[in-house]
Structure formats: structure tokens, C-alpha cells
Structure 1
């Protein structure tokens, strides 16, 4: 049985990794094609209106803009695979030197959201399922529905009005840090962005945990466990929760994949120096290498988080781990 479980996990991991690599390859093609059809010309954007035709032609040749699109894509892909993410067209600095600090800031933001957002969402989902139809269930469900209906920028602006400007003046409304410094140097600037994203992700995790837990608690084997005299706490934690958590893990993965894109809006609202604000700046200045790097990295994060979610779902669910679902 242990060997069967390991083989199921190994096959799942290999299949997901291969599909993830294929997805990243297709995303790289789409991203490169999209940057090729952007209005304007990279050489013109760099040199400005005062550039001479000779200088424009020289820069186009330097950037390989005079070559066919397929050749440009191949050069870009081979450089990226070798670890060279290119040079920014705005300041002529390596893209990696500008992107890596922003990735660290955004990763800090998402880790804090996971630490402060996921446990309460799961705990309240379990509590609401156990007290289905009672006051706690009704109240939390209504609040979660209201949170889900509000876009990220509305929540962010509302928190700024409430906690930073009009009502209270407890927190800084803008997440400003000196260039090259980590956001951890000023922890107070993290509170509003983290709180915004926690409110955004709470309703989806809560509602899935509640629905999955209700379905499992109504199953036959839970009724059998109750008839055997097993304590209610043991039934919930050892029998119901492991089978109800798998769909919630998938929703958590989808939520974080969504946050990888939604963080762009939140970072723009708060002026947070993360990958989202960097992408907006790159699009505004038509910095093609930075755009390509950031979008592919976001796609890689999406693929990685889904692979991790599938693996966790198999590990925590006995039926999936032993492969009995494949034989039924």
C-alpha cells in the first residue's frame, strides 16, 4: 500500500511538471507575440524624438529588432534559459537586478497574507459547517458574500479612508520605501496591503471549507464513526477534516494564483514596491524585456502553486494517496 501511494504521487508529480513546462513554453510564445504588437518602437522609445535615422538603425540592430520575429524569440528564449533575463530598455540595467527585489517584496506580501488569511478562513469554515444554520453560520456567510462582491481596489481605498486619512490616522496610506531597501524595514507599511488581500481571499477559502465540511459531515462513514461512540472532536479532526481539506487546498492555490495578478492592482493603490507596480511601470515605459520577464515569472508562479496544491491534496487525502479513486 505504501509503494502504491508513492507511485501515485510520483506519477502525479511527473505529469504535472511536464504539463507545467509545456504551459510555460506556450506562455512565453504568447507573451513574446504580445510584446511584438505593442504600439510604437523600442528604439524610438529609448532614443526619443531627437534620434537620427542612423542611430535608430544602429540601435535596432543592437536589439535584434531588424531580424525576423522567430529569430528574436529564439534569441530571447535561449538567453532566458541561460539565466540572462535581458537588459532594461529604460535605464540599460540588467532586468534581474530590478525584478528580484520587487519579487522579494511581493513574496513577503503573499506570505503574510497566507499566514494571516488562510488559518482563520479554514477555522471559520469548519465552525460554520458544524453550526450550520445557526447565527455564526449566517453571520459569517453574509460577511463573506459582501467581501466577495467588493473589488480589490474598492477594499483598498476603503481601508485607506478608514485607517489612514478621514476617520483614523493610524497607518501610512502609501507604502513608500527608499530604493534598494526591503519593505521589512518599515513593517507598518505592510498592514494595509496585507489586510486588503486577506479580505479578498477570505470569502473563497471560507465558503469552500464550509461547503466541503458540510458534505463530508453528512457522509455515511461519519455517521458510522458517530455510532461507534467516537468523540465529536476526533470525528471532525481525524475523519472529516482530512477528506474535506482537499477541495479547499485547490481553492487556496487558485486564490493565490489570482492574487499574483490581483496584487498588481493592490500594489498600484498603495504604491507598494512589488512586482505588480514594476509591471505597470514597464508597460507604461514600453520596457519589453522587463514585461516579458515579469509575465513569465507570474506564469511560473501560477504553475508552481497549482503543482504544490495537487501534491498537498493527494498527501492529506487518504483516498487519493492510496489510489483507491483510480480503482473504483
Structure 2
């Protein structure tokens, strides 16, 4: 297991490095001058030149990148152009909000999607199966921002007062109200992914249930409940875990539109606001943080493979993987 962990961590370094190069380059090539936005269109040339010097925008792009990368290695993401606050502190302030939203959405995906997929597989080609499959397809086909707008319409216009549809209550102030304020955004994030997980769980379950060892277990008189929950579901969860790992990263990065619709001051909204005013340090800082979380979650998924399927763990231990 240690060999597998070290291998995954080492392979993550060039991935993050490549992401940083692409993100930094594209951000610098985007139209807009942060120095001009900072001092105003009517500012004298001297003020504009001083602002560009303070922001290190006069340096060549490669020098700007290596300066930023050196600061990043030391744990310094820079200082915001707009409010002069440390980027790490700004991200830390917004992270709990987005994390709460992502955790709630992930819980909904697992708690609803996996059981629906199992039920659909166990009732294959029945009316129940058809209903779940059609509902899953409908969920996948509708983007999360459409679900978000529809929820705002329901609870903001048709049934006002039942659920909060705008703003956020900090978890430390009122736990219940905080959970209520993120319930609708979390559902908007989770709805399309629930359908995907349900369909994937169904197909994976049906594939595993057709294996010879399942038929042999039934022939030996093993109880059906044991076959389903101990053998079949455990092996069927491997591709589902892969998708859940990918979805976890998208829940952090994909919350941009949902947080904007519901007025949630999380990382997604911070990314939009910082890019709008060309606040390069915050924009690249949030992008790299989301990328790092995405890579880390996929490493955890690979390690869970070894926990669920011992053959993978034994393969790494023997040097065959």
C-alpha cells in the first residue's frame, strides 16, 4: 500500500505543474489589464506604470511564472490586487462554504444514486427499473444551473418562505439554518450526478451478477442477501468509486454557476468575481487549489481500489502494477 501511495503522489507532481503552466498562460493571455482596472481609465500614465510595476506585470511572462511558482513552493499564493489581502486567507475564508456544499451534494449522490442503481439492477426489466432509468436519464440531461433556476422559481415565487433560496448562514452561527441555506444549492449540484451514479451502479451490478462466481455461490446455497451486499455490490462499486472521485472535483469547480444563482459566497463565486476584475493572484490561486483537490481525490480513489480489491494492492506490493 505504501508503494502505491508513493507512486500516485509522485505522478501528481508533473500533472499539477502542467496545470499551473496552462492556467497561468491562459490567464495572462486573457484580454483585460488588471493595472488599468485598478487605477481607473482616467488615471495618469505615471499611476498606471506604478501599478503595473507593483503587480510585476512589466516582467516577461516566463519570469512572472517562475516568480509565482517560487512563492507557491514556499506556500505563498500572493496578495490580492483588489483588497491587498493574502490569497491563502481569502481562500481559507471561502473554503468552508464550498466544502459544506460539496459534502452535502456528495452525500446526496451516494445516498440516492447508489441505492437506486442497486434497486434497478435487482428489478431489471421491470416497471420499477424502467422508471428509475427514465428518471436517471432525465437527471443527467438537465444541467445543474437549470435545476438551480427551477428551484429558485419554486421556492422564490411559487412557494416562498418554505426554504431559503438566497444567501448563506455560517455554520458556526446557526447549524440548522446553515444546512437549510445550502440544501437547495447542494441538490442542484447533485441532481445530474445522481442519475449518472444510478445508471452506472445498475450496469456494473448487472455485469457482476452475471459472473460465474455469483452463480456458483447461489448453487452452493449462499443466501441471496449475502451474495448481493457482500460479493456483488463490493465488486460493482469499483467503477462507481472512480466516477465519485471525478465528481468530487467537479463539485468544487462546478459550483461556480450554482453559487452565483443562490448567492452563496463560496470558492466558485470567488473565482468568477476575481476573474471579472482580473485579480490574477486570487484567480490562479483558486484554480490551483481546485486542481490540487481534484488530483488528491483521485489519489484517494486509487487507494480505495486497493482496499476494496486486494488483488490491486497485492499487485503493487509485488511490483507488477
Range that drifts further, 255-264 or 71-80? 255-264
Residue matched to 1:283: 275
Kindly report which structure 2 residues correspond to 1:5-24, keeping only aligned pairs within 5 A, or say none. 9-24=1-16
Residue matched to 1:120: 112
For 2:12 and 2:144, the matched residues in 1 are separated by: 28
Residue matched to 1:155: 147
Residue matched to 2:132: 140
From the superposition, tell whether residues 227 and 327 of structure 1 become closer, same or farther in structure 2 (CA, over 3 Å). Answer: farther
SS of equivalent to 1:322: helix
TM-score (norm 1): 0.91
Residue matched to 1:101: 93
Kindly report which structure 2 residues correspond to 1:73-92, keeping only aligned pairs within 5 A, or say none. 73-92=65-84
Kindly report which structure 2 residues correspond to 1:210-221, keeping only aligned pairs within 5 A, or say none. 210-221=202-213
Match for 2:64 among 65, 72, 81? 72
1:262 equivalent in alignment to 2:244: no
Deviation at 1:177? 4.7
RMSD between aligned alpha carbons? Answer: 2.3
From the superposition, tell whether residues 37 and 276 of structure 1 become closer, same or farther in structure 2 (CA, over 3 Å). Answer: same
SS of equivalent to 1:286: coil
1:313 equivalent in alignment to 2:308: no
Task: Count the aligned residue pairs.
Answer: 319
| Post-superposition CA distance 1:138-180 (Å, at most 9, x none) | 11111011011101111111112223322454112212458x9
For 2:96 and 2:290, the matched residues in 1 are separated by: 13
Deviation at 1:55? 2.3
Match for 2:218 among 214, 226, 244? 226
Deviation at 1:27? 0.9
For 2:226 and 2:293, the matched residues in 1 are separated by: 36
For 1:54 and 1:103, the matched residues in 2 are separated by: 38
For 2:173 and 2:38, the matched residues in 1 are separated by: 29
Deviation at 1:282? 0.5
For 1:114 and 1:41, the matched residues in 2 are separated by: 38
For 2:155 and 2:314, the matched residues in 1 are separated by: 50
SS of equivalent to 1:323: helix
Residue matched to 1:194: 186
Structure 1 stretches lacking a partner, 5+ long: 1-8
Residue matched to 2:286: 294
Range that drifts further, 17-26 or 277-286? 17-26
1:51 equivalent in alignment to 2:43: yes
SS of equivalent to 1:186: helix
Residue matched to 1:6: none
Residue matched to 2:201: 209
For 1:219 and 1:326, the matched residues in 2 are separated by: 28
